[in-house]
Amino acid sequence: MTVEKSKPPAVHLGQSDVEDQLQAIPERSRTTRVGGQFWIWAGANLAPINWVLGALGINLGLGVRDTITVIVIGNLVGMSLFGFFVLLGQKTGATGMVLARAAFGRRGNYLPAAIQASVTIGWCAINTYVILDLVLALFGKLGWLDTADHNYAWKIGTAAFLMAAQVIIAWFGYRAIAAFERWTVPPTIVILIAMSLFAWFGLDIDWSYAGPPGAVLEGWDRIAVMSSVMTVIGIGWGITWFTYAADYSRFVSRSVPRRKLYLVSTMGQFLPVVWLGVLGASLATKSQSVDPGQLVVDNFGALAIPVLLLVIHGPIATNILNIYTFSVATQALDIKVRRNGLNLFVGVLSFIAVIFFIFQEDLAAVLDSFLSSLVAWVASWGGLMLVHYYWLNRVRPLPSDRLFDPVGTARLPNINWAGVCALISGIFTTWLFMAQSLEALQSPVVTALGGLDLSWLAGLLVSATVYGIFGPRIHFRYADRLAEAGAGD
């Protein structure tokens, strides 16, 4: 039996046009400067959202030591796994949602691509809200407004300006993003070093803080809360970046040693997340707040102005990745719209979501719910993708150029039900083991476990197991067909 090989049409694009449509990034358009990956991932995480996450542990009742333990160990594990997805982008030149076509099928991949596009909107909104809060705190220090008021007009107007700035940077693509991170991250690091030294040696930080007075968590309750925080700001934080990794590492030349790329990228993630998480946790022992503006203004006083002016760069650096990833994830849905048009579209949608956050009074609950829900799908997606590319595709390698074949190709299944079912099974299992802030959404399994949250682990293992059982049959079938078709040429 022979199979007609379907290949994408030849694409002749200039250097500046190579990102306008989904294709494997050619070697001539790649870079050997691996340091750019460090600055991209460090810039994305040198953001107030990460000290908010550190403060979240304190807000949920943990002590400083427990919070730091969760942040360090969790991110060490999460970022180690993240590095494997970075390597896939370098190897194939494909985005994360194009890579997923092998595991989900040509049309079956519409499901994860649609989820990823939606997730980036939520992230863009949350990060813009954090910027907004910082800017308004600065305006208050300058006497331009009364921070005791709601200031809805100021918030909405400022959010519109900030969203426009983020869209403009992302508009120019990978090279503009890499340049922005390369030139803005180093001075931000200098300021954050000064900020940290002032906080840790100039303020009365209670490093022995073990929890709210009279309500210190002990025994199983302490373990349960630590597991929940691990899902949000520990391992779960590293997991949330799985789907982004290849979108940027695809621009790294194959001549760059894989080990070097792995270490540079993971350190770019790990160091700022842990650093700012510890900073946020330590500051929260004084203010007992996760509000980013309050954390800075309450603790730094007059120094808040120069600190805020420079730290504001962080969320912008994060959101230009969200906006860019939205565009390539949407293109993976076979929506024939230029990337720049999609950048503008996500800016509008994210702005609408920002307005929603403005009218939410409990930011901690919003953050906890959103970040926890992310783990439900990303952990499941990551589990089956690891099985596919680091087991099946190593046993029987298949050409990565088939990922760019048009709909109807004979080289990819239309819907790979093994991947779809593995993802759904993983998401359902994640919910079963996820501690929910809303009691009505809590599964009986978590209740029986006394609030212990093992969602990220359960989702990853179940999706990997389901795909490991049913995926090989489909993968090997296509490997045999392609081998036979090649032999007949």
The least confident of 13-22, 200-209, 210-219 is 13-22
**Short-list 411, 378, 409, 412, CA closest to 103:** 412
For residue 280, being part of any structural domain is answered with: yes
Q: Which two tokens stand for residue 334?
A: 């076979």
How many Å from the N-terminal Cα to the C-terminal Cα in the chain? 12
* Between residues 151 and 2, the one the model is more confident about: 151
SS (H, E, C) 231-299: HHHCHHHHHCCHHHHHHHHCCECCCCCHHHHHHHHHHHHHHHHHHHHHHHHHHHHHHCCCCHHHHHHHH
For residue 2, being part of any structural domain is answered with: no
> What angle (nearest 5°) sits at the alpha carbon of residue 484, between those of residues 481 and 486?
110
Question: What's the confidence (pLDDT) of residue 2?
Answer: 38
Question: What's the confidence (pLDDT) of residue 95?
Answer: 95
Amino acid identity for residue 62 in this structure: L
Question: What's the confidence (pLDDT) of residue 363?
Answer: 57
Q: Looking at residues 212-226, what average pLDDT do you find? A: 75
- What b/e string do you get for 185-203 counting C-beta neighbours within 10 Å, with b at 16 or more? beebbebbeebeeebeeee
* Between residues 458 and 237, the one the model is more confident about: 458
- Torsion angle of the four alpha carbons 263, 274, 169, 160, in this order, in degrees rounded to the nearest 10: 160
Q: Give the C-alpha separation, 375 to 457, whole Å.
A: 10
**For residue 11, is pLDDT > 50?**
no
Q: pLDDT tens, 62-92?
A: 888 889 999 999 999 999 999 999 999 999 9
For residue 18, being part of any structural domain is answered with: no
**For residue 169, is pLDDT > 70?**
yes
**For residue 373, is pLDDT > 60?**
yes
Contacts of 395 (CB under 8 A, 6+ apart): none
For residue 391, being part of any structural domain is answered with: yes
Question: What's the confidence (pLDDT) of residue 298?
Answer: 63
Helix (H, G, I), strand (E, B) or coil at 252: strand
CB-CB contact of 129 with 358 (8 Å): yes
Question: What's the confidence (pLDDT) of residue 372?
Answer: 60
The least confident of 82-86, 253-257, 282-286, 415-419 is 282-286
- Residue 114's CB: how many other CB atoms inside 10 A? 15
For residue 300, being part of any structural domain is answered with: yes
* Between residues 434 and 259, the one the model is more confident about: 259
* Between residues 449 and 378, the one the model is more confident about: 378
**Short-list 272, 239, 284, CA closest to 66:** 284
Q: Give the C-alpha separation, 313 to 269, whole Å.
A: 16
For residue 420, being part of any structural domain is answered with: yes
Sign of CA dihedral 148, 151, 156, 158: negative
**For residue 369, is pLDDT > 70?**
no
* Between residues 295 and 318, the one the model is more confident about: 318
- Domain of 361 in residue numbering reads as 34-481
For residue 322, being part of any structural domain is answered with: yes
Segments in 25-109 forming alpha helices (H): 35-45, 48-59, 64-92, 96-99, 101-104
* pTM of the entire predicted model: 0.87
CB-CB contact of 23 with 95 (8 Å): no
Count of structural domains, the chain: 1
Give residue 329's pLDDT band: very low, low, confident or very high (50, 70, 90): very high
Q: Which two tokens stand for residue 477?
A: 């079938």
Give residue 20's pLDDT band: very low, low, confident or very high (50, 70, 90): confident
Q: Give the C-alpha separation, 249 to 86, whole Å.
A: 6
Averaged confidence pLDDT in the chain: 84
Question: What's the confidence (pLDDT) of residue 1?
Answer: 36
The least confident of 18-32, 39-53, 131-145, 301-315 is 301-315
Q: Looking at residues 428-456, what average pLDDT do you find? A: 80
Q: Give the C-alpha separation, 155 to 177, whole Å.
A: 26
Q: Give the C-alpha separation, 366 to 206, whole Å.
A: 27
Helix (H, G, I), strand (E, B) or coil at 316: helix
Percent pLDDT > 70 in the chain is 84
Q: What secondary structure does DSSP assign to 411-476, as a single string? A: SS-S--HHHHHHHHHHHHHHHHT---SSGGG--HHHHHTTT---HHHHHHHHHHHHHHHHHHHHHH
CB-CB contact of 97 with 109 (8 Å): yes
**For residue 437, is pLDDT > 80?**
no
Question: What's the confidence (pLDDT) of residue 301?
Answer: 62
Contacts of 61 (CB under 8 A, 6+ apart): 211, 212, 215, 217, 225
For residue 256, being part of any structural domain is answered with: yes
* Between residues 410 and 52, the one the model is more confident about: 410
Q: Looking at residues 127-137, what average pLDDT do you find? A: 76
Q: What is the CATH number of the domain that holds 200?
A: 1.10.4160.10
Q: pLDDT tens, 237-275?
A: 888 899 999 999 999 999 999 999 999 999 999 999 999
Q: Give the C-alpha separation, 318 to 299, whole Å.
A: 25
Q: pLDDT tens, 43-65?
A: 988 877 787 778 888 877 888 88
